[in-house]
Amino acid sequence: MAPVLNRRLVLESPERVPDGAGGGGLGWLELGVLWGAITPRAGRELERGGRQGSRVSHRILVRAAPVGASTRPRADQRFRENGRTFRIRAVTEADARGRFLTCWADEETTA
């Protein structure tokens, strides 16, 4: 049975952005849109800087792209869906024929 890829995900890559004063910060460059299936895996509570939050791990399935293609997700990138972000931790081939990729990603929220 073919997977249902019904979630519109924007693939983004980190890039250095100059701050105009000789320094810089981190920005995100949009690489394109991939359609995927998102399955939550596990979650846990977080406390960061005195604020409560949570981290949920997800399995995100997308169509494969050749190694080196800008549309092939990597571990230093993220997916964005509306106001949500999913930081990609690892990418593996999901099937023996190499038609799909599994992206293991984390979503963090703060209260």
pLDDT tens digits, one per residue of 47-90: 777 777 788 999 999 999 998 899 999 999 999 999 999 999 99
Mean pLDDT for all residues in the chain: 90
Domain assignments of the chain as residue spans, ordered by start = 7-110
- pLDDT-derived band at 44 (thresholds 50, 70, 90) equals confident
DSSP string, the chain: ------EEEEEEEEEEEE-SSS-EEEEEEEEEEEEEEEEEEEEEEEEETTEEEEEEEEEEEEE---TT-TTS--TT-EEEETTEEEEEEEEEE-STTS-EEEEEEEEEEE-
Write down the pTM of the prediction. 0.85
Q: What is the CATH number of domain 7-110?
A: 2.40.10.270
Q: Is the pLDDT of residue 34 over 90?
A: yes
pLDDT score for 25: 83
